[in-house]
A and B are shown apart, each in its own frame.
Chain A
Amino acid sequence: MEANSGGGGATGSSDFVRKLYKMLENPADNTVVRWGLDGESFVVLDTDVFTKQILPKHFKHSNFASFVRQLNKYDFHKVRHNNEDSAHSPYGPRAWEFKHPDFKANNKDALENIRRKAPAPRKAPTTQEDSIPTQQMDMMNTQLVATQQQLVTLQELYNDLRGQNNMLTHEVLGLQKAVINHEHVMENVMAFLNTVDSQRRRDSRLVTPFPANGHDTTTEQQRIAPAEDDAPASPLQHAAKLLSETNADQTFNVRALEHLNEQSIRLNHTLTTPPPDIAARARPSSRQAPNSASSAGSMRMSELDSLVYPVGPNNGIDPMFEAHIHNIPYTVPPTRESENGQIRKKNNFPDPGWVRQPRILLVEDDPTCRRIGSKFLYNFQCHVDCAFDGMEAVTKVQSNSKYDLVLMDIIMPNLDGISACSHIRRIDNTPVIAMTSNIRSDDIAMYFQHGMNDVLPKPFTKDGLHSILVKHLAHLKGDPRGLQAPGAQQAIKDDEPPTKSPVTAANWHSPNQMPGVSPVGAGPQLVEEYHALPTMPGQLMQGPLVSYGGLPAQQGPMPGMQYAPTTGAVPPQMQLQAKSLQPQMQHRRKISELSSAPEDAQGVDAKRPRMLPQVSQPQPVPQPQGVQQVQQQQQAQQVVLQQQHLAQRQQMQPPTPTHPPAGGMGFGQ
């Protein structure tokens, strides 16, 4: 209704204003709403009655708030009565008085001057803080969840490593004990040999002035001529020397191990008994340092333990690869945001210093988001073009492919963002940023799969948008520091130039590149686990580690890992299944399965997600022996556990599109 009432402006006064005037001309409603005493304002005396009876009559709604908003739009102002006045308010305490310089009781002609205000008329700045903190809170919440997710993952990794470390420490301590025992044995043997040796010499010279004394070779040497003694005794002396040397070495190792062991005891609260020998030989000098270090360690540990990590089903980001921390698709402003945010909110960003003005295409069906988004972009000195939906976006890119960046909403009428991106990918490689609130890991995987370069979670902040710009438009910047905002520092501080980041997006996969697991080696095992794993759906869903890179060509060794298992072992089954599908689907499927060219992701388009899941459907286990073997190995070796993780992560990808995200990705449109 408001649209209707606002539309009449062209033919003189607007509908709304005329209706307003007409309403006041009706003397019957005088007790509820009427002109002010001087005819320069109008007064609503009883808002309740006004809302229930008058509003529906003239404006076809009964919403006082809406009415007031409408008045505001036409630049009416409520007449304020400050405190002392309100007692004397001529119309009563509950009355609302509104005023517009051109809205007067006896001047109908002036009504024409009352127009809807321009979108952004100027007013004194006061209360912008009202809406933004909440928005920031939202953003912070998103970040928090993401961070927590990372912590969970780190914790898992940490536990794994701790277990392994534990094992290694045990192992080493065992070895240590063995070595020490050997040493003792050797000492005994040496003593015995010495005895035998001296005995032999004494016997041979028929000199027996002393009782047999194994240790006293030196005294013997003094008594006997050196030239004669050296020969028989030297092998023994040599051995003794060697022994003492290794002994010294061991001292050194023991110290380090002692340290390690103490730490692990403290950290794990599991007792690994230190070998008694070590305790006996404890080096006083080595005591202090380990103690302090390990107590610090235990502190950290207990802090970690006392924290609670709420685990959400979404927002999982794999933090294992260090580069990710600087490359988080959640454009996470650093922690100091809260301090700086207050200041920055007031001050505008400094001149970004673009080499030339970046051209941004903002694709968004929601006017609120669109306006805020373009406002931010204007603030960053960007040229903004808007598109209402995917269709318009594709048309715009087609007719003018000079955009530097496309910010793309996902769920839109007519053509959704994912499909639009696929279309755009056929035209050029303009970076496309998914701008959406659907940021579950499987959603994000799908965005990347369809050629998107990054994700800007909604609702976003100015900083969030800014860091995306910095990240993807680095080539347009003369001085990288010009546009640097706290939110963007991470992206820039990163050693690699931000231009690389679309490529580094491939690193989302890299957690899979566990040390020691070569793609080739992992292949066969993975295949087996593909069959074995569906029996653990719970684990699958929990796994917060998700690979994000959807662009196979950029993954380096990854395609091998990702696709080799499928091509190697699954095709027979896949083809069986394919027969039940339409022929053209089969054709496409083959392409997508057998090659890992990036075009697949686009070419197969929306159909791909529906096919891949079949890989992960529980299937009869064709190689039970193999599975058993794997399982045994897993029990025996922790390293294999990692591979399992890895396989789970692989596993995460195929099933994702089976459950389209809550919003429905709009494929059907």
Chain B
Amino acid sequence: MEDDDENPVAFSKSIVADYFDQADLTFKQMDEYLEKQDLKNISKLGHFLKGSSATLGLTKLKDSCEKLQHYGDRLDEAGHNRVSDSQVSLRNCKKTIEQARREFKEVEDILQPFYQDD
């Protein structure tokens, strides 16, 4: 572990790489839950991805995840008011997942040069 100190890049690289894998997986799971109309788990995944996105400083993605978390909790975007129609919540989730995916792709593209070689 101490070796990491001399290799901060390698460390952050591996962290980011793991994050990408994790996010890939999370998006897949989100799709599955969307299919099953499982709002609660979508919210959980939103929270999960929010944490790691925030840790890496990916704020846009973090914000989308937060929204997703609220939508999954059957709340409105800011998490203040309840949304009574679960179909509305599902639609919101779907929309936000797509948005998060786009943002994720953006991040991937930006960080790609950082990854493809040394």
Contacts and interface: CB of A to CB of B under 8 A. Distances in A.
Interface of A: 2-3, 63, 65-66, 68-69, 72-73, 77-78, 80, 96, 117, 119-128, 130-138, 348, 365-369, 371-372, 375, 378-379, 409, 411, 413, 437, 458-459, 662-664
Contacts of B112: 65, 68
A413 B113 CA distance: 35
A659 to B, nearest CB: 9
Nearest to A381: B2
Given A437-B50, A663-B47, A367 B12 contact: no
A132 B109 CA distance: 18
Interface string B52-71: 10111111000000100110
A127 B111 CA distance: 11
B72 to A, nearest CB: 9
Contacts of B69: 662-663
Interface string B30-67: 00000000000001100110111011111100000010
27 contacts: A3-B25, A65-B20, A65-B105, A66-B20, A66-B24, A68-B116, A72-B13, A77-B117, A78-B117, A80-B117, A120-B1, A120-B3, A120-B11, A122-B7, A125-B8, A128-B12, A134-B59, A135-B56, A135-B57, A137-B59, A138-B54, A368-B55, A371-B18, A378-B2, A413-B44, A662-B66, A664-B73
B5 A131 contact: no
A409 B50 CA distance: 13
B4 interface: yes
B21 interface: yes
Contact of A664 (B4, B43, B48, B114): B43
A120 B18 contact: no
B5 A72 contact: no
A134 B57 contact: yes
Given A120-B1, A379-B5, 13 more contacts: A68-B112, A72-B17, A72-B117, A120-B3, A120-B11, A124-B118, A131-B12, A137-B57, A371-B15, A378-B1, A409-B51, A437-B50, A458-B54
A484 B48 CA distance: 33
A123 B10 CA distance: 6
Interface of B: 1-22, 24-25, 43-44, 47-48, 50-52, 54-59, 66, 69-70, 73, 75, 79, 105, 108-109, 111-112, 114-118
Contacts of B11: 120, 375
A72 B48 contact: no
A368 B52 contact: yes
Contacts of A126: 9
SS class of chain B's interface: helix, strand, loop or mixed? helix
Contacts of A365: 48
Contact of B54 (A2, A66, A127, A459): A459
Contacts of B2: 378
A384 B11 CA distance: 17
A95 to B, nearest CB: 13
Contacts of B43: 664
Contact of B57 (A3, A123, A124, A131): A131
A368 B1 contact: no
A372 B9 contact: no
A135 B55 contact: yes
A369 B55 contact: yes
B91 to A, nearest CB: 20
Contact of B51 (A123, A130, A366): A366
A367 B50 CA distance: 12
Nearest to A96: B116
Given A120-B4, A367-B22, A369-B51, A131 B56 contact: yes
Contacts of A121: 7, 10, 14
Given A66-B24, A69-B21, A369-B55, A131 B117 contact: no
A664 B69 CA distance: 9
Contacts of B48: 365-366
A309 B9 CA distance: 38
Given A66-B20, A367-B22, A663-B47, A77 B57 contact: no
B55 A372 contact: yes
Contact of B108 (A65, A366, A368): A65
Contacts of A379: 5
Contacts of A348: 5
Nearest to A377: B1
Q: What are the nearest 4 A-B pairs in CB distance?
A: A134-B57, A368-B52, A135-B57, A78-B117
Contacts of A65: 20, 105, 108-109, 112
Contacts of A368: 15, 18-19, 22, 51-52, 55-56
